[in-house]
Amino acid sequence: MTTALINGRVLLDDGFRDDVAVLVEGGRIAAIVAGDDARARNAERIDLEGGALVPGFIDAQVNGGGGVLLNNMPTVEGIRAIARAHRRYGTTGLLPTLISDNVEAMRAAIAATREAIAQGVPGVLGIHLEGPYLAPARKGTHDARVFRTPDADEIALATSLGNGVTLLTLAPEQLPVETVRAFVSRGAIVAAGHTAGRYDEIRAGLDAGIRGFTHLYNAMSPLQGREPGAVGAALEDRDSWCGIIVDGVHVHAASLRVALAAKPRGKLFLVTDAMPMVGADDPAFVLYGETITAVDGVVRNAAGSLAGSALDMATAVRNSVHLLGLPLDEAARMASRYPAEFLGLDDLHGRIAPGYAADFVLLDDALAVRATWIAGDIARHAA
């Protein structure tokens, strides 16, 4: 059965087109054809009613959603609930993210992610282990009591997923450079984050295979005149990617515009760093035995540190348009194509092109999500 998505503004590689139809077969994009092509006329047709059809959003940092925190519910059911909650906001691919924890929690989260992928839970692409190899001075809401240096067995565990992407955030100055290389050689994508490292220490990590930076500017040594720090290393490096949280709280819009000017196009991508209140009615959750509550959309722990966010990906895209002045096509790429490239998934995800996964988001004129598709399966959403 062929489905034709018609009468929309479709984001292709060269920008939006309103004269094409997208043909979907077997969960993949079969072809992009003229709107009046016979194949589109003869297919089962879905009228997009003039909305913007963009590639499905990919979120590399999702701690929770739908009332669930991965640390507290490292099960297939927990991951399913998180993915379901974020789909409503356009996220068709995500990495459930484990905040620094003990080995048992890490083992459970990896096993649950492996099984979720095996069961085909929609949207699950792998796992993000944010810590526990971090710097106490830049711990944010992480519990420094679980920070440690991994031995060979733990390196093997952290890279044992097998059937999906493993993203690992670490502070390069906290580990021997050989350990960073070991993670990379075993297939992990390694990002620097929660780091107090000097510029030369971050540079050594990049040379060892670090591919990107976790929530640029947040929980990392700042750019200063005589010590560029992690931020300076990130902005200077032409090859690395940087995740950014565009919620108007984590980073000033001017600082984000500086990053956009400094980095090559395609090297900044959107993340939410979302906590359980996304897609849930309860603004509170428990982390490390402490109750954390979002107040006016800002999530902080008792010490006043930002504790993730209440951000969803559709709002991040809207904020990129309204706060940063980006055109919608570029904001959408920052939520789809660029994270796919960072994660090495750009042969199947992040574009509307023949052969790619039929993962889409339909946005209305207010940039609210009206429908999502994962592998061609549609879910409609109220405005």
222 close to 196: Cβ distance less than 8 angstroms: no
Helices 229-236 and 253-262: crossing angle, nearest 10°? 40
- Say which of 247, 273, 312, 359 is annotated catalytic: 273
Q: Is 351 annotated as a binding residue?
A: no
Closest-CA residue to 219 (of 130, 273, 139, 128): 139
CA distance 181 to 211: 12
Closest-CA residue to 357 (of 1, 2, 17, 30): 30
Q: Is 306 annotated as a binding residue?
A: yes
Across the beta sheet with 9-12, what order do the strands follow? Answer: 15-17, 9-12, 52-55, 360-363, 369-374, 377-380
Closest-CA residue to 60 (of 126, 137, 118, 105): 126
Tokens of 344: 């090495």
Q: Determine how β-strand 44-47 pairs with β-strand 3-6.
A: parallel
Q: Is 349 annotated as a binding residue?
A: no
Q: Is 215 annotated as a binding residue?
A: yes
189 close to 95: Cβ distance less than 8 angstroms: no
202 close to 235: Cβ distance less than 8 angstroms: no
CA distance 337 to 325: 19
Helices 76-87 and 103-119: crossing angle, nearest 10°? 60
CA distance 378 to 329: 22
CA distance 253 to 307: 20
Closest-CA residue to 329 (of 1, 14, 4, 5): 14
Q: Is 308 annotated as a binding residue?
A: yes
Q: Is 149 annotated as a binding residue?
A: no
- Going by the DSSP 8-state scheme, the letter that residue 223 receives in this structure is P
329 has catalytic annotation: no
57 close to 317: Cβ distance less than 8 angstroms: yes
Task: Tell me the one-letter amino acid at 187.
Answer: G
At residue 151, the 3 state secondary structure works out as coil
Q: Is 307 annotated as a binding residue?
A: yes
CA distance 236 to 234: 6
Annotated binding site: 130, 141, 194, 215, 218-219, 226, 250, 306-308
Annotated binding site for Zn(2+): 130, 194, 215
Annotated binding site for substrate: 141, 218-219, 226, 250, 306-308
Q: Which residues are catalytic?
A: 273
